[in-house]
Amino acid sequence: MKGKGEMVFKSRMKWVGLVGIVLSAFSLFTHFFLARFTQDSISEFQSSITIFSWRPVFEHADFSPTSPLFRRLWGPVRRLETLHPDANPRQHYPDPSLQSNGFIFVRIQGGFHEIRNSICDVVVIARLLNATLVVPEIQSTTSSKGISSQFKSFSYLYNEDQFIAALTRDIKVVKTLPRNLKGARRKKEIPRFKAPYLASPYFYRHNVLPVLKKHSVVELVVSDGGCLQAILSPDLEEYQRLRCRVAFHALQFRVEVQDLATKILHRLRAPGRPFIAYYPGMTREALAYYGCAELFQDVHNELIQHKRLWMRRRGFVKGKLSVNSEDQRLNGSCPLTPEEVGILLRARGYSWDTIIYVSGGEVFGGQRTLIPLHATFENVVDRTSLSTPWELNRLYGREINVGGNYPRSPPSILKESKPDAWNTDGPRPRPLPPPPARPKYPHNIEGWWGWVAESDIEPESTVMELRTNAHKLLWEAIDYFISVEADVFIPGFDRDGKGHPNFASLVMGHRLYQSASLKTYRPDRKQMVTLLAETREHLYQANYTWLRSIRQHLRKSLVDGLIEASTLSKSISFLSHPVPECACSRQVSDQSQAQVGGLGVVHHCPTWMQSELGFRSKDKQTEEEDDEDESTSESFFGYKSENRVEGSGEMNSKEAILLNDQEELDGGDR
């Protein structure tokens, strides 16, 4: 009986174990099922509990937005407060004609800023030629690079339906060519034009339009970031406002990109502090184009020179191969380094615990280049420290798994194969053949450390590198969204590797259009480098005169930099300075406040805008101007936190007045 009871007990235990396994499997199945079909809700929950790499460190828990110091560092620029966006037509502007001259099919090549500029130009060209525009094809996002097939080329970055709907009153946009023209395109029977850089309307009216009318379709290839001249004649002013409607209203990022960018923006603002967006602009192409190789050391210098040689052979660079980088830097042709930007911001009065968001993709030289900025400011972050890899991977979609391109472990060097001739040749003194070449392992020749010493020719991009370039479009889209919304924006450089306005220029133009009064510093690099050179040897004992000069220049650059951009950047890229064509003024007296800070804005805002926004009272404005620029109470590089000591722990009266700029106290940002 005892043995029978044990058998029954064991049998029951087996059944219990089997039931447990079944329940566990069912639980796992349910978990994966919910994760698959409720991603949105899970992402919302995950965003609130994710442990990010950034933990903000602040000196003061109470941060008063009403203090004079806050208004000086973060408040609006008063001379630009009356400036508001207005891209609506102001003259006779009929709807697009029902009878189109044909289809324009566009292929766009380049980076984020070049794509954005080109899309705005081709829309204007379609309106100019009374043509139907096919949704442009972005060459950086094709399925041949392993990019997810769930997105079309244009919809990989932008919202296609929004783009079409927003331009209904301007041009006719279709998603694809008609079936008969698709076949002609596959057979390469469609007339093809390589759009010149900054071509005039005359070129399109007298060269492209006759071909368009004859063949009913034309293909444009745009590669330099701008296929229509930036400054148009006065009779084409409505086309400039069309550019603004495209760039600032029709071109919306696809939903997934906007959602993640909004989440990152909320996480940035969660501590209740304003933040600065900083664009370094230190790309390898830009450094090579302007000859700034000597700003770096070792192999980074060699990489820049290698790129400059490649650009010279293709005609992108006309100058000499070897350029004195120090002369270029003193001339303002090189980017401000992260260290220099950190010094300027501290000299302006921003405390060590200010939040700095680094935007615009990777910085050439890697995180090592940003170390001085991290040493100056505690809270330096980017998109990777404010999001999870899972959230970023959702943007890419389901991509093809590219085999054989991932890093492999190096083979053992103990197993070296030698030619048989080396082992079997006759006895000495018969000369032996040369020894076999040193074996080259994949980990020795992959990447810059291999090819930069082996050949003068830039290697072809691998599939993974092409995929990463496509991902950079999404990364820069997130950074663009956040930089436009930032409380303060400062660029390290505003030119790309072709000498054209870059990502930072588009951000500054968008901020000027959308919210002109937000602080956007446009420092004169030539003057800044000269001022920094004056105190390079005794930077940590900066005197009052030097600090005053830095603060005056940064304050004046808020408006004076705009006027300079209207002559330098606008002639190359209209979107970098869409004023006065796309702006209106709410000021109706004093000659529209001297045409709003010298920007030439004379158009008055509509009545509904006047009544909705109203004006500030004269008494309140005078009161704010009087206390605009109270001095900060901390020294230039001093930290007041108990657990952060730099230099002497106490601050004497001389250090306390380093940032007390009496002239700015009287004038502020007026």
Q: What is the mean pLDDT of residues 293-308?
A: 80
Q: What is the pLDDT of residues 167-195, one digit of tens each?
A: 999 999 999 998 888 888 888 888 999 99
At 154 the pLDDT is: 93
What is the C-alpha radius of gyration for the chain, rounded to an integer number of angstroms?
30
At 30 the pLDDT is: 72
Q: What is the pLDDT of residues 142-153, one digit of tens each?
A: 666 778 888 888
Q: What is the pLDDT of residues 428-446, one digit of tens each?
A: 566 666 766 655 544 444 4
Q: Which of 290, 308, 658 is nearest to 495 (CA)?
A: 290
**Using 50, 70 and 90 to split pLDDT, how confident is the model at 653?**
very low
At 565 the pLDDT is: 82
Q: Which range is most confident: 315-329, 471-485, 558-572?
A: 471-485
At 222 the pLDDT is: 93
CB-based contact 227:197 (threshold 8 Å): yes
**Using 50, 70 and 90 to split pLDDT, how confident is the model at 6?**
low
pTM of the model: 0.82
Cβ-proximal residues to 4 (8 Å cutoff; 6+ apart), any chain: none
CB-based contact 326:403 (threshold 8 Å): no
Q: How far apart are CA 543 and CA 531, in angstroms?
A: 12
At 511 the pLDDT is: 96
| Residue 604, token pair as written in the block | 């008055």
Q: What is the mean pLDDT of the chain?
A: 79
**In sequence order, what DSSP letters do the residues of 36-101 get, joined into one string?**
HH-HHHHHHHHHHH---S-----S-S---TTSHHHHHHHS--GGGTTEEE--S--S--PPPPSS--
At 60 the pLDDT is: 67
Least confident range of 23-27, 56-60, 130-134, 635-639: 635-639
Cβ-proximal residues to 213 (8 Å cutoff; 6+ apart), any chain: 101, 102
Q: Which of 556, 606, 497 is nearest to 84 (CA)?
A: 606
Q: What is the pLDDT of residues 405-424, one digit of tens each?
A: 444 454 444 444 555 655 66
CB-based contact 473:112 (threshold 8 Å): yes
| Residue 253, token pair as written in the block | 């990022």
Q: What is the pLDDT of residues 238-286, one digit of tens each?
A: 999 999 999 999 999 999 999 999 999 999 999 889 999 999 999 999 9
At 437 the pLDDT is: 62
| Residue 615, token pair as written in the block | 């004006």
**Using 50, 70 and 90 to split pLDDT, how confident is the model at 35?**
low
Q: How far apart are CA 75 and CA 87, in angstroms?
A: 26
Q: What is the 3-state secondary structure (H, E, C) of 507-555?
A: HHHHHHHHCCCCEECCCCHHHHHHHHHHCCCCHHHCCHHHHHHHHHHHH
Q: How far apart are CA 632 and CA 349, in angstroms?
A: 7
**Using 50, 70 and 90 to split pLDDT, how confident is the model at 367?**
confident
At 661 the pLDDT is: 43
Q: What is the mean pLDDT of residues 384-407?
A: 78
Q: Which H helix or E strand runs over 132?
A: strand 132-134
Q: What is the pLDDT of residues 76-130, one digit of tens each?
A: 998 888 889 999 999 888 988 888 999 999 999 999 999 999 999 999 999 999 9
The SS3 call for residue 501 is strand
At 366 the pLDDT is: 80
Other CB atoms within a 10 A radius of the CB of residue 383 amount to: 21
Q: How far apart are CA 382 and CA 384, in angstroms?
A: 6
Which residue has better confidence, 164 or 52?
Answer: 164
Q: How far apart are CA 566 and CA 574, in angstroms?
A: 9
**Using 50, 70 and 90 to split pLDDT, how confident is the model at 448?**
very low
**Using 50, 70 and 90 to split pLDDT, how confident is the model at 593?**
low
